[in-house]
Amino acid sequence: MKLLTYCVDSFKKFLSQRLTVLGLLLVFPNILFSQEMLGIVNSNYAGISGAMINPANTVASPLYIDINWFSLDLFLENNYIYMAKNEYRFKRFFSSSSPFPTHGVDNNLIMYDNYTHTDKKAYLNIRLMTPSFSINIGKHSFGLVTGVRTAMSVRNVPYDIAKFGYEQLFYPPQYGINYVDNRNMRIAELSWAEIGFNYSYVIKQQSLDYWTAGITVKDLQGIAGGYMYSTNIDYVMLDKDTLIIRNMNGGAGYSLPVNYNGTSVNTNPIFKGKGIGVDIGMLYEKKKRSIPKEKIKKLCAQTYVPYKYKFGFSLLDIGRIKFTQNAQKLAFDNVSSYWPDLSKTTFTSLNSFTSHLSNRFYGDSTKLVTGNTISVMLPTALSIQADLNYYNNWYVNGTLVYPIQFSKTGIVRPMIVALTPRYETAIFEASIPFSIYDWTKPRLGLSARFRGFFVGTEKLGGFFHFSDFTGIDFYAGLKLSLRKGNCRGKVNQSCGIQEYKGFRKKDKEKKPKKLRRPLTLFK
């Protein structure tokens, strides 16, 4: 239990430092994406953003150039701590004159806990993407994606451990109870920078059938990472000061931007790990008319043919980051311990904490640390998308995102299934995503786009106090997009069909030539 308390305190300090860095980054033109951004990634005008849900989308886009300049988003959801709906006001996040009400023994808590016997879980996803672009040339599309991301997942945490953590070990109703938890508890966090290349290609184009495939390969530079898992824990908390661990199996690892022998920040080097990430996908469209074969003389003159419906599937975030700098790997192999005076034990550094744990479990201050490299898996997922153009500019989209876990040291992406009706034109777009989050939570969202500016949320209730506040989702952005068939300047034979609609052909009438009078020498 002291392990959980110390990790929570360390994470608070680390999060405070991370938010300071985040505030500095937001001063510059960056792009921050949430969990899935259903209101924009499935749009026909998503451009390079569409590669986030399926890398095959870019070549099928009605845009021949798309540049993503700026956007901002935050996603957080959990099923344990919350703000009561009668106390929550979104504007209080930005106001010092109207703070959130507090409660608790020390009157220092603004959150309540959901004390039920269900497992506790949470997910945080932040994505900062510096300006990225895609360009379409006939059957090919090329793109560059760069950015910084942070993801954290908490899964299968037993309610009793969550309660002791929330109450800081002081919860007498759970004292003296022998808890045996075999729930495969998983906690993982990862922060990294990435630069990637997106390529998509039209693999088949016949009559009304249109097939594309795409891939995004990313070089990953790890900033920080960590994990903790257990396969079983058998323990009794006698009181706030006495813990008996009868048996425990699990592991932990971390590579953090802190000095392990003190409390100072350690950013040398900034990147402490490396890895490769891959997204792959395929897309099928049933076009409304046959696609003309054309030679590309000007990018703007390319023809875009709309579809009746389309289907796609993709595998997202395949890969991992291996940390070799400032990393420690811990192993709890069939250990047990009797720990008195628990609440009075203090630590001055992370190394002093691990040494104390090692003495408690193994009787040796060094045996707990088993290595100096760790690996954390990306939040891998399978996604299936379907989109129907059922009337003029009206569409309806269905999206499934299902997590795939390759390792117990990886981040687990929540499951989402969504149905999103939308109205879409090149100038204006609006959609209302309805989604089921992690099989349990229905959510209603709203998003809109005007030319290159978009704003939206997948959880509209997070801005109101209709129900208890358990998380928030918000995104907004600015981009520059150039449409196929929309050339400027002089019209020539290389322009597409759309350009001719804006111009009139002026047929010059040929005037009959005047007949010269014949030269007459004689009358």
pLDDT 10s digits, 227-237: 999 999 999 99
**Residue whose C-alpha is closest to residue 132's, from 117, 116, 148, 120:** 148
The answer to the question of residue 505 being in a domain is no
pLDDT 10s digits, 320-334: 999 999 999 999 999
pLDDT band at 141 (very low <50, low <70, confident <90, very high): very high
pLDDT higher than threshold 90 for residue 95: no
Domain count, the chain: 1
% the chain with pLDDT above 70: 87
Beta-bridge partners for 83? 469
Q: How far lies 290's CA from each of 83, 205, 387, 446, in Å?
A: 55, 9, 19, 34
% the chain with pLDDT above 90: 68
Distance from C-alpha of 189 to C-alpha of 211, rounded to nearest angstrom? 37
State mean pLDDT over 35-63: 92
The answer to the question of residue 85 being in a domain is no
**Residue whose C-alpha is closest to residue 172's, from 105, 232, 120, 121:** 105
The answer to the question of residue 95 being in a domain is no
Distance from C-alpha of 53 to C-alpha of 138, rounded to nearest angstrom? 22
Distance from C-alpha of 80 to C-alpha of 297, rounded to nearest angstrom? 59
Distance from C-alpha of 345 to C-alpha of 355, rounded to nearest angstrom? 13
Average model confidence (pLDDT) across the chain: 86
The answer to the question of residue 45 being in a domain is yes
The answer to the question of residue 94 being in a domain is no
Distance from C-alpha of 277 to C-alpha of 280, rounded to nearest angstrom? 10
Q: Which domain holds residue 349?
A: 2-79+114-500
How high is the pLDDT of residue 23? 31
Residue owning tokens 């795939």: 404
How high is the pLDDT of residue 517? 54
Q: Could you tell me how far CA 396 lies from the centroid of its own chain?
A: 23
How high is the pLDDT of residue 514? 52
pLDDT higher than threshold 70 for residue 405: yes
Distance from C-alpha of 414 to C-alpha of 154, rounded to nearest angstrom? 10
Beta-bridge partners for 211? 204, 284
Q: How far lies 348's CA from each of 49, 253, 263, in Å?
A: 45, 19, 8
How high is the pLDDT of residue 6? 41
The answer to the question of residue 508 being in a domain is no
pLDDT 10s digits, 277-310: 999 999 999 999 998 888 888 999 999 999 999 9
pLDDT 10s digits, 239-284: 989 999 999 999 999 999 999 998 899 888 999 999 999 999 999 9
Q: How far lies 34's CA from each of 150, 238, 442, 471, in Å?
A: 10, 42, 17, 12
Distance from C-alpha of 510 to C-alpha of 433, rounded to nearest angstrom? 60
The answer to the question of residue 93 being in a domain is no
Can you give the pTM of this predicted structure?
0.85
How high is the pLDDT of residue 205? 93
State mean pLDDT over 465-469: 87
One-character DSSP codes across 214-262: EEEEEEEEEEEEEEEEEEEEEEEEEETTEEEEEEEEEEEEEE-SB-TTS
The answer to the question of residue 214 being in a domain is yes
- More confident position, 8 or 54: 54
pLDDT band at 104 (very low <50, low <70, confident <90, very high): confident
